[in-house]
Chain A
């Protein structure tokens, strides 16, 4: 099992450009999450999907959109990137509520 995979690993964008971060899990988990990690701030939840067909906002959703494509895949889209979105983005998944989350390796995004 690959667990949680993310693409790309690194990305550099110019202000105003758009891009989609991809995430997939092969553990048959129901719930998936997108976090951003900034120095000294831990991880902050951007969006989550409790189950296929549902998505909800987390703590810092502004400037992002998500799509739960199917049970395996959960993508994060930046429509018009801003320097404030420079961060490391992590995708995670969990079986159900009450279970631990499993994390992907992250995407390091720089917006110039």
Chain B
């Protein structure tokens, strides 16, 4: 079975600083990987996804993530954080079959942004 670990429960960065959120996965085959963001009281919104091809993927809101197979990682990055980026971020790995795509989520990383 697949699993996802997000080692950092909370991260605080200053506005304008760079950001990297870590995600490690365990999956027996080539994974499908996702990053979602959840603002307070809201549902989850997809930031970006990796299915195949270029290992550096671009997403919405200026985010990017890099798939590193050798490290089983899919870390999320942003060069300059804005106060509106404060939210909770979830990494997920997909296992797909004819029965449908099953996502396994990490525990989440809560991002706080200092002015």
Q: Does B97 contact A (CB under 8 A)?
A: yes
Q: Select from chain B the residue with minimum beta-carbon distance to A108.
A: B41
Q: How large is the interface on A (under 10, 10 to 19, 20 to 34, 35 or more residues)?
A: 20 to 34
What DSSP secondary structure best describes chain A's contact surface?
Answer: loop
Bound CA span A106–B44, Å: 9
Instruction: Collect the chain B residues with CB atoms within 8 Å of residue A54's CB.
Output: 99
Q: Does A105 contact B (CB under 8 A)?
A: yes
Taking a contact as CB atoms under 8 Å apart, the answer to whether A42 and B106 are in contact is: yes
Q: Does A40 contact B (CB under 8 A)?
A: yes
What DSSP secondary structure best describes chain B's contact surface?
Answer: strand
Bound CA span A31–B9, Å: 31
Taking a contact as CB atoms under 8 Å apart, the answer to whether B99 and A50 are in contact is: yes
Interface residues in A25-56 by Cβ distance below 8 A to B read: 30-31, 40-45, 48-51, 54, 56
**Which among A101, A102, A104 has the highest number of chain B CB atoms within 10 Å?**
A101
Q: Could you write out 15 A-B pairs with CB less than 8 Å apart?
A: A40-B9, A42-B106, A42-B108, A43-B44, A50-B98, A58-B102, A94-B100, A96-B100, A97-B97, A98-B94, A100-B34, A100-B46, A103-B44, A105-B43, A106-B42
Known: A40-B9, A90-B43, A101-B103. 14 other contacts (CB 8 A): A41-B107, A42-B106, A42-B107, A45-B102, A49-B100, A54-B99, A96-B100, A96-B101, A97-B98, A100-B46, A100-B49, A105-B43, A106-B42, A106-B43
| Chain B residues near A (Cβ < 8 Å) | 4, 9, 32, 34, 36, 41-46, 49, 51, 90, 94, 96-108
| Chain A residues near B (Cβ < 8 Å) | 4, 30-31, 40-45, 48-51, 54, 56, 58, 90, 92, 94, 96-106
